[in-house]
Structure 1
């Protein structure tokens, strides 16, 4: 057990990394059994190694390539890895370079031959929380922003260490090669030996992952540290938004605001926007236009809070839902919460004279709540493709002031005080605001909004409850039409944007077959073809009477199939054909329609 004692001392920091016996690595991994396998990458299989005292390590059994098959090259790389010591890089514990001979029977001839077998293994610290790719989600779920930002800064510091101090390019930099410990500290792994020969002009199948590959590397095989920077941009985008596509900054901030259920603090706003700016700079096509990793770390370190995170009011709700038909005056309220020990003054700017707020300005006492009554006059709203908005301003206040001394001039930015401003949206739609409160629809709406913006053609599954909500439970008022395949409903989103939901008649396709059909249809993109956005599919087994009236019950599969696609406002062509002469359509317009079809 001397080998285990040595490895224990290395893990505890009492010994430096060194050559480890193959027999030891076989023993602690149960001879590389399938039960101990914990991962597989382009460069080898990873196994869990358990020492007698319960200490766990990771053992990578590497595939052979130009860097690992040559013993001199392999040991030269190992010497470089043995000097690495950084909290954001997986710790290297030891290696094994073993060559032995064995006899095998050659296939076909049956001849017994002697072969040279080479083993190349690495022993690394074991990271318990798995890889980053298992934790990537959009803004509305998963890791909190503070954790994501800590991960981003840790990744950048680790990559800076590899680039600037160790002159190591990763060349397969992606979330699967970033591990997270118990405290969600990121640790970069699979570097050094994972990179291809720098003189290579073609990308081998094991080098790099599409989506993270820099264009110059993917197209020509050219390698530099700027290739890792391109990959870093994709990783940051995924951590901030959940996907690699270029986002709209305002939409990202809006979704984070709903995740926080309050407006972002200045610090949060700066962090989100700075991360997006850095990610887009990293994704520049030309390597020389991308920043260096030291510039990125410096840019992140320059963000500092201008005020404490809890200095401003919490406002709830952030959206007021009103019916699209206002036959009489309607009222609702917003709640202002002061969780601080300071007095906070507020001022509400109204969107138009149709609105009133009582009161429209005042003081919220420390650790208390304040309700503001909002009234909206009867009006003809018509089709709303936008939302009105209030502006709720707030600022810390000196003690001793009373409500009556609060004036609008106090909230001018030039007054020198820190003023927080929040847009409170007013949304008109067909949904009953009492039946579908914002808390119930915010998450699905913003999830859908994000998916509509970032869609790459892959099928998107929407929850049935959400499709029910935006169509008022498939109410008769929401019906747009009916065809040979199902009924069509108007779906109104939180912003007032409209989609179309088709409730299909009995479609006799299994769920996987239905999804395959949807996947195919979603790949169709053309300005003259209606765009499919997503679907819902469910199969339920239940008992039912069959034939009807027979009293006999059978166990049958009940299928529910819905599809969601873009809303086209001018209806179908047949509604316009009879009116071409009467409405004086021009020949140019008529010809344009024909050519487009």
Structure 2
């Protein structure tokens, strides 16, 4: 039995929705450092998480004000060389890697893809593709390169790392250790508020500039049901060949959708009521 510490701030999704305007980049980077460190431990144990999204990342604030983030809900984790449960796909659609949607094995790199999606969510404070139904149309778009957008002012180095994580080609995605090292380096620069060289100065100024924009960002969301953000069994077939063109906007996908077919259904019988985001 695995026992987790009580998380008095709830899930990452909930925490972002309630506190986004107060979350400056020092805090965001610290959250991601914690999460990537946890992911290293999962992968070093030769496991994959298998259902990695912001509802399965918990937040706890100590009496001294320190905030920690950690990965939870390892119910679908398995050894990296174990096959999926009867080839099934389970998760929250926008966080599922495109190759997994195409019934390829769920590997460590699929967790990395999910981490990239989480990076976009921390940037914007909004769930990925919150304004689109999580249905077959979205599955087609993801499969053909659609990725969530970033908030205005998000530092370019951050965007580049997230895009690496969300690359169509799993072999191009970085390891959890690489992600941790990059994020830790940025956090240290921002935390000490000083640069040792020109490169660090560029990074520091980018995050400082991003901080000034946070109070101006809109966090108003349309009604987004808990059910939408709950892991489900995803069944699909006849997914068309993946287009290797990451980060396509919805407008550029319109022609693709006219000639692409997919049969994807979400089974309510397999919804995970115990893990709904609160």
Short-chain TM bin:
0.5 to 0.7
The answer on whether the counterparts of 2:15 and 2:59 sit within 8 Å (CA) in structure 1 is: no
Q: Secondary structure at the match of 2:21?
A: coil
Alpha-carbon shift at residue 162 of structure 1 (Å): 1.4
Q: Which residue of 1 aligns with 2:88?
A: 203
The answer on whether the counterparts of 1:203 and 1:221 sit within 8 Å (CA) in structure 2 is: no
Please, which runs of 5 or more residues in structure 1 have no aligned partner? 1-94, 96-121, 257-271, 312-412, 414-419, 422-441, 461-525, 527-597
Q: 2:163 aligns with which of 280, 286, 306?
A: 280
Q: What RMSD over aligned residues (CA atoms) do the two structures have, in Å? A: 3.8
Alpha-carbon shift at residue 181 of structure 1 (Å): 1.2
Q: Which residue of 2 aligns with 1:156?
A: 36
Q: Distance in 1 between matches of 2:185 and 2:175?
A: 16
Q: Which residue of 2 aligns with 1:175?
A: 54
Q: Give deviations 1:452-508, integer Å, cap 9, x for gaps.
A: xxx9xx689xxxxxxxxxxxxxxxxxxxxxxxxxxxxxxxxxxxxxxxxxxxxxxxx
The answer on whether the counterparts of 1:135 and 1:143 sit within 8 Å (CA) in structure 2 is: no
Q: Give deviations 1:160-208, integer Å, cap 9, x for gaps.
A: 12112x11210101111111112320011112x423683236325xx32
Q: How many residues in Structure 1 have an aligned counterpart in Structure 2? A: 184
Question: Larger % of strand: which?
Answer: 1
The answer on whether the counterparts of 2:58 and 2:71 sit within 8 Å (CA) in structure 1 is: yes
Q: Give deviations 1:52-75, integer Å, cap 9, x for gaps.
A: xxxxxxxxxxxxxxxxxxxxxxxx
Alpha-carbon shift at residue 214 of structure 1 (Å): 0.8
Q: Distance in 2 between matches of 1:139 and 1:252?
A: 18
Q: Which residue of 1 aligns with 2:10?
A: 130
Q: Which residue of 2 aligns with 1:237?
A: 120
Q: Secondary structure at the match of 1:285?
A: coil
Q: Secondary structure at the match of 1:185?
A: strand
Question: Larger % of helix: which?
Answer: 2
Q: Which residue of 1 aligns with 2:246?
A: none
Alpha-carbon shift at residue 148 of structure 1 (Å): 1.4
Distance 1:292 1:218, change over 3 A: same
Please, which runs of 5 or more residues in structure 2 have no aligned partner? 129-146, 199-204, 207-214, 225-253, 255-278
Alpha-carbon shift at residue 273 of structure 1 (Å): 3.1
Matches within 5 A, 1:460-471: none
Alpha-carbon shift at residue 236 of structure 1 (Å): 0.9
Distance 1:139 1:241, change over 3 A: farther
- Bigger-Rg structure (1/2): 1
TM-score where L is the length of structure 2: 0.55
Which protein has greater RCO, CA pairs closer than 8 Å, 6+ apart? 2
The answer on whether the counterparts of 1:226 and 1:290 sit within 8 Å (CA) in structure 2 is: yes
Q: Secondary structure at the match of 2:189?
A: coil
